[in-house]
A and B are shown apart, each in its own frame.
Chain A
Amino acid sequence: MNTFESAIGYSWFILTGAVATVELTLLSCLLALILAMLAGIALTSDQIAVRAVTRIYVEIFRGTSVFVQLFAAYFVLPFVGVSLSPLQSGVLALGLNGGAYGAEVVRAALNAVGRDQREATIALNLTRWQALWWVILPQAVVFMLPSFGNLAIELMKGTAVASLITVSELTFQAQVVRGQTGDTAMPFLLILVIYLLIASALISFVRWLERRFGRGIVSANT
């Protein structure tokens, strides 16, 4: 009947929101990952100025709400001549926020790699960057991945706030359907399932990375 057909139509409409949600998630995860790596490495620098500047970034973006950061990116940046699309604003705010949390994870993981490993790189006359890239980071990544997985899920859940600046992602689409049909249960049950699916895809990906990087480090006793 008519309601059945419209239900299909609305569901499809909501599903199109998944594209924006996935896009927001992947792009902001990518930005967050790059920022977390750079900031995390900078936090272990022996240059005090480098550490100080990075510390300020981390504390600002951890200490303020992601709502405020999102609104600043969308509504305030235009005043300084930077106009971003809603999607770009979302990626920027979520990426900067996730990067600040990730930086602490990276710093802790780098410090968790033993001193003996650093000393071995010195004895082999590697440069600091060679040591970081070939010896320290590959081992630190194993410590980072579980936390990164959690951060990625947090970030994915956080994409819903982008609905507030009219990005037509899942939550936004569900609100639209709810406004037009008055039905709350169906749209929100549907996006709940989709969020869960995206989350489990993310988790599987991180698990795969953990196995990939854990070779030789995590004992293969399974």
Chain B
Amino acid sequence: MGLHVASRAPDCQPIIEFRNVEKSYGSLKVLEQLSFSVKAGEHLALIGPSGSGKTTILRILMTLESVTAGDVIVNGVCLNHEQRGGKQVPSSEAHLRRMRGAFGMVFQHFNLFPHKTALQNVALAPVLTGSLSKAAAKERALQMLENVGLADKAHEYPSRLSGGQKQRVAIARALALQPKILLLDEITSALDPELVEEVLNVITNLRNETDMTMLLVTHEMGFAKDFSDRVLFFERGKIVEEGPPSEIFLSPHHERTKSFLRKIIAAGHRL
């Protein structure tokens, strides 16, 4: 028993920790003194009005943006700094590449490679990182496509797929390197309404069948409620309210949260 507990101990540490993070573009402050942490295996929903900094948080984790101040800790290692010669220096490209290995990201607009087939999109990174032989990588990529229900589209170019199919390919691609943490940025907001469900079903399966940590930015409040273990409500780069979905969606404390949810429901989103 003791051994078992010891091997699980790291799970109790946060897998992600933001410490007083600030992000500015010129004079525009996008994140202000932001601190929060995410436990390994947790399913976190980030909600809030447009422009409140949700995408920026995911982009900082994916190392697509740097922070202006503060620290981001992933798996106990600082993302934005590294130790060199006993000193803290800004992360080198090599350090960033090591850190990126933990993450997979799915973008709002899919960002598929148009000159590659669905299968090639999914297999490219595993082949290039050389962790698998080319044949094994192809086979795994095909398995990934099958998991998202697209084995029959493996040899199609993205231009011949529907939005929902494209996004499912993008999910398979993000999973091909077996990330510990999956970042999902409004992955259904570019889709026609009738294509939303097929994508959300894939996410629900991932949620239930893997132990990945998942950060979901969404305006689909109904989905966020079923998906998440915890919800963060953002406004102007700050967390206004956080808690379990039952509380945030059904009995929010903060006036800002209430009015945001009212607006969202008025705009036709289900809860």
Q: How far is the CA of A84 from the CA of B72 in the complex (A)?
A: 60
Q: Is B35 an interface residue (CB 8 A)?
A: no
Within B50-108, the residues touching A (CB, 8 Å) are 62-64, 93, 97, 100-101, 103-105, 107
Contact residues in A for B38 (Cβ distance below 8 Å): none
Within A55-71, the residues touching B (CB, 8 Å) are none
Contact residues in B for A142 (Cβ distance below 8 Å): 115
> Contacts A124-B125, A134-B128, A219-B159 known; A139 to B177 CB distance under 8 Å?
no
Asked if B177 and A125 make an inter-chain contact with CB atoms under 8 angstroms apart, the answer reads yes
Within B177-234, the residues touching A (CB, 8 Å) are 177
Within B143-179, the residues touching A (CB, 8 Å) are 157-159, 173-174, 177
Asked if B97 and A124 make an inter-chain contact with CB atoms under 8 angstroms apart, the answer reads no
Asked if A124 and B177 make an inter-chain contact with CB atoms under 8 angstroms apart, the answer reads yes
Asked if B173 and A217 make an inter-chain contact with CB atoms under 8 angstroms apart, the answer reads no
* The one of A116, A130, A216 that contacts B109, using a Cβ cutoff of 8 Å: A116
Q: Please indicate which of the listed interface residues B105, B113, B116, B177 has the most CB atoms of chain A within 10 Å of its own CB.
A: B113
Q: Would you give the shortest CB distance from A116 to chain B, in whole angstroms? A: 4
Q: How far is the CA of A135 from the CA of B114 in the complex (A)?
A: 9
Q: How far is the CA of A156 from the CA of B101 in the complex (A)?
A: 49
Contact residues in B for A216 (Cβ distance below 8 Å): 114-117, 157-159
Q: Would you give the shortest CB distance from A188 to chain B, in whole angstroms? A: 45
Q: Is B33 an interface residue (CB 8 A)?
A: no
Q: Is A193 an interface residue (CB 8 A)?
A: no
Q: Is B111 an interface residue (CB 8 A)?
A: yes
- A116-143 vs B: 1/0 string, CB under 8 Å? 1101101111111010001100110010
Q: Is B129 an interface residue (CB 8 A)?
A: yes
Q: Which residue of A lies closest to B125 (CB)?
A: A124
Q: Would you give the shortest CB distance from A218 to chain B, in whole angstroms? A: 9
Contact residues in B for A130 (Cβ distance below 8 Å): 128
Q: How far is the CA of A16 from the CA of B130 in the complex (A)?
A: 52
A-B contact pairs, 23 of them (CB 8 A): A116-B107, A116-B111, A117-B113, A119-B64, A120-B111, A120-B112, A120-B113, A122-B63, A122-B64, A123-B174, A124-B173, A125-B97, A125-B100, A125-B125, A126-B125, A126-B128, A134-B128, A139-B114, A142-B115, A216-B116, A216-B117, A216-B158, A217-B115
Residue ranges of B at the interface with A (Cβ–Cβ < 8 Å): 62-64, 93, 97, 100-101, 103-105, 107, 109, 111-117, 124-125, 128-129, 157-159, 173-174, 177
Other A-B pairs beyond A128-B93, A134-B128, A142-B115, 19, CB < 8 Å: A117-B113, A120-B112, A120-B113, A122-B64, A123-B107, A123-B111, A123-B174, A124-B174, A126-B124, A126-B125, A126-B128, A127-B97, A130-B128, A135-B124, A215-B115, A216-B115, A216-B158, A216-B159, A217-B115
